[in-house]
Chain A
Amino acid sequence: MKRTKKPPRLFRESIPSRRYERKILKRIPLAHEREYLESLYRREGESHVREAELPNKDVAHLRRLAKAVKHNRGMLQPVKLGLLAFVAGAGLVFLAFFMNPLLSSAVESGLESAFVAQSELQGFSLRLFSAGVSFDSLQVADRNRPMRNLFEVYDANVQLDLGQLLRGRIVIQDFDAGELRFGRERSVTGALPDDHPAQVARGDAGGAERSELLENAGEVVQEGTDELLSLDPQEILASELARLRTPAVVDEQIAFIRSEVTRTRDEIAAIEAATGEFRDVAESLLETDIRSIDSVERLVVLREDSEGAVEDARSLLDRSASLTAEVGQSRVRAEEAVRAVAEAVNNDVSGIQERIPSASDVLRGPVASFIEPRLMAFVEPYRDNVDTVLEAVAWLQNRSEGREATSGIARRGRTITFPSVGYPRFLLERAAAGAATPAVRYQAELLSVSSDPEMVSTPTTARYEQRHNGHSAVVNAVFETRRSVSTRFDLDLALEAQPIRLNIPNAPFSFTGLDGSFDLTAEARLVETGGGELREELVARLRIVPEELRFSSAGFIEERVESVIERAGIIEIDIGSPAPAGERAVRTNLDEPIREEIAAFLSEQRDIIVEEVEAGVRRQLDEQRARYEEELDQLLAVYSDVQSAAEEARSLADEALARRAALEARVAEVRGEVEDRARAEAEAARLEAERRAREEAESAAEDAEERVREEAGRVIDSIRSPF
């Protein structure tokens, strides 16, 4: 048998008419559904009734109607409200269990980004309704010294401005810490890994340029008293000998002289050979007594034979003259070489004095020159801390830039501003820590740390005051991050009657340290000079009252130094940085007395050293010079040989030429005699010939006359008897 389903309880068999109309019928908006329901129910008196048994189809329809009626009841959606309530409850549970760890982690992350070092926050607790935060301890490591903490804060209670917190701004009205510590050692390193976002961001951003105090410090110490006191004559001598130029010059000139000697000797041999050859050639000319020769023929033969000797003599003379000229040039070069050696020797000797430090030059501020780099090294970590704080504030500003809570309206419209008290996105109005016990009383305050310093009129200020058994320390520091103000950091420091125990290894004069007390007043500033560079200015006066001085050894200098310090009573150290050009940033009252005491001693020591070194150098130079002069003597001897050979050749050639001239004269003389004789003979011959010619002519004339007469007779005969 098929089982019939039960209709929903809303549609009971009998429903009061008032309820039927108001609670059911009215909540069925669709007309056909209402008609359907009306078809099931009929009015009986004050009620509406239906059949007891309904078919399943009607039951299903009624169920749908019941759902619709239920839905159309009321305005709110209970399921969604429940869902919302559940989400809210879950949120509260989440906040209760996870908010503090999450916020703690976020705070640590923020501090790590700001200070670029590990941060540890413990016991963090947020009080939502009172807008307060408390924590047991906060440690932030020093990025420059990872095994130390930059600061530690214990038992802190932070009061936030709830109104501003709801507007997305963190305004710390009061930060009260039970204990504050600086620079304490850590058990684990506080450096962040290289790939940490804060490290990466720091690498990208880069810090402002700043002048380096330490860069120029210590120069004087390097070449100063330590150096002077540790001078080793043997070492200086070795150094001086190593830098001598003379041996090299001497070697060079000796090589030159040897080449000149060799070359000149070759010339001498050549001219001697030429002289010998000439002598052979001109032997007949030179050995013959020309006056005794009367024969023209002999003289002519002799002259013809001596033609070659004359040419050779002239050649020999030219060669001799050339050799003499070359020797002259060589001598000039040799003289230059001598001068070069002399100059090298002078140079080598003259630099020694200058190269050995002088007590009067070096001992300018022996104490200051030693203290200066150490003071700057002492100040360096604090300067790094200032940089760290300035960069942390800058990080805060950059992070908050453009992140002011807004309504998020993208469409255009005008934003009307109304009078209001403006707050930056982050503001720490005041943080304080302090303690007061019979022995120690200290108070530290930090004011106005802001993400928008332009909005907050006061700069970030840190104050610290401590009194302890008669010692006091007062620090006032202003970290200025407003762009309109050029002084970025301003520090006033005053320390009084602070105990001091200095242990200084490697100090000059065997000084190892002192015990006593000191007062310090200091003013430090970081001033922006434009172009992003920060100039550091430091003016400080340190007054040390020594009670015990320690030296590692005893000696003349140590005694004098101790005596000077005892006479002074107080060691006064003045620091003024940046120092004027050529001057030190540090001055002390000990420098001049110590300089005077020691200068005399050092001067004597130096004179001894200079004398010793100069003697050693001169010995070496004398050896070099002797070696050179030996070679030079050889050259001069060769020059002498050259002169002899040239002279011999020249005299031989001159003699040959003289003889040749005599020969020419003799030839002329003999030729005159012969010509006179020939002329006389010729005259006689001419006269004889004339006589003979005349006689012959007369004879011929007579013959001719005879032949003419005969001819004339024959002609006359012919005429007379032509046939």
Chain B
Amino acid sequence: MFAVLTRVVAALNANRRPGEIASACSFAVLLALLPAGNLIWISLFAVAFLVKVNLGIVLLLTAVLSPAAVLADPTLDSIGFRVLSMPAMQSFFTMLYNAPVAPLTGFNNTLVPGALIAGAVAWFPVFFLARALVQLYRNTLRVKIIRSPFMQWLARLPLVRRLQNVAARARSVYEWAG
């Protein structure tokens, strides 16, 4: 958890594109909405792993948002059921249902298509919002926070310095790994 937090803080302050963090937030929302354990969720996570998004934020936000996503289940179920019941899509879903791997995606569970649609719809708003927030932080808040007396005091603590060193080493490894 500490490593993840470190990576999150490092990502916020690092010389990285705000889009990396913003897309991580979007991925996290999507992964949190989707029921875990099916092939779609695993594939999305693999994509998040392979593209340049902040994995720490993905993990942290997914863990935080997943319990809350249960509250959205009735809505997701309703959306998913409508999609799966669409007469025009029946032949497609039947073909998918009989395809070798498709049932492992759980697409015929109403939560999956509901979450996919909801996540896709929320993707860009979340992305832009997160990016704006990151830019706001970097341009305005970051300097204020760093220069605040509390942070100055905190930065002088030996333990915090040691943690900073550890975090720096972790960050260097993380940056080396891309």
Contacts and interface: CB of A to CB of B under 8 A. Distances in A.
A421 B38 contact: no
Contacts of B51: 75-77
A259 to B, nearest CB: 99
Interface of B: 14-18, 35-39, 49-52, 70, 73, 76-77, 80-81, 84-85, 90, 93-94, 96-101, 103-106, 108-112, 114, 138-139, 175, 177-178
B100 A166 contact: yes
A64 B100 contact: no
Contacts of B139: 31
Contacts of A74: 52
Nearest to B101: A166
Contact of A417 (B37, B101, B108): B108
B110 A416 contact: yes
A128 interface: no
21 contacts: A28-B15, A29-B15, A29-B18, A68-B16, A71-B175, A77-B51, A77-B178, A84-B50, A163-B100, A407-B37, A407-B103, A407-B106, A407-B112, A412-B111, A413-B80, A416-B110, A418-B93, A418-B94, A419-B94, A419-B97, A420-B98
B108 A415 contact: yes
Which of B15, B70, B81 has the most chain A CB within a 10 Å cutoff? B15
B90 A410 contact: no
Contact of A409 (B17, B101, B111, B178): B111
B97 A81 contact: no
Contact of B14 (A68, A162, A406): A68
Contact of B15 (A30, A75, A410, A419): A30
A415 B73 CA distance: 14
Interface in A401-427: 405-421
Contacts of A78: 178
Interface bracket on A: 35 or more
Nearest to A77: B178
Nearest to A165: B100
Given A67-B175, A76-B52, A80-B177, 18 more contacts: A72-B15, A76-B51, A77-B50, A162-B100, A407-B109, A407-B112, A409-B35, A410-B35, A412-B77, A413-B109, A414-B80, A414-B109, A414-B110, A415-B109, A416-B85, A418-B96, A420-B94, A420-B98
A166 B101 CA distance: 6
A165 B139 CA distance: 55
Contacts of B114: 413
A33 B15 contact: yes
A464 B121 CA distance: 63
A167 interface: yes
A164 interface: yes
A162 B50 CA distance: 29
B108 A412 contact: no
Given A31-B139, A76-B52, A414-B77, A408 B15 contact: no
Would you call the interface of chain A mostly helix, strand, loop, or mixed?
loop
A79 interface: yes
Contacts of B38: 407-409
A418 B108 contact: yes
Contacts of B49: 80
Which of B17, B49, B76, B178 has the most chain A CB within a 10 Å cutoff? B178
A115 B175 CA distance: 56
A28 B85 CA distance: 48
Which of A29, A33, A163, A410 has the most chain B CB within a 10 Å cutoff? A29
B108 A409 contact: no
Given A72-B16, A77-B51, A411 B111 contact: yes
A720 to B, nearest CB: 186
B167 to A, nearest CB: 16
B104 A413 contact: no
A71 B39 CA distance: 29
Given A162-B100, A408-B37, A414 B81 contact: yes
A310 to B, nearest CB: 128
A415 B100 CA distance: 18
A30 B112 contact: no
B117 to A, nearest CB: 14
Nearest to A30: B15
B109 A409 contact: yes
A81 B35 CA distance: 26
A85 to B, nearest CB: 11
Contacts of A75: 51-52
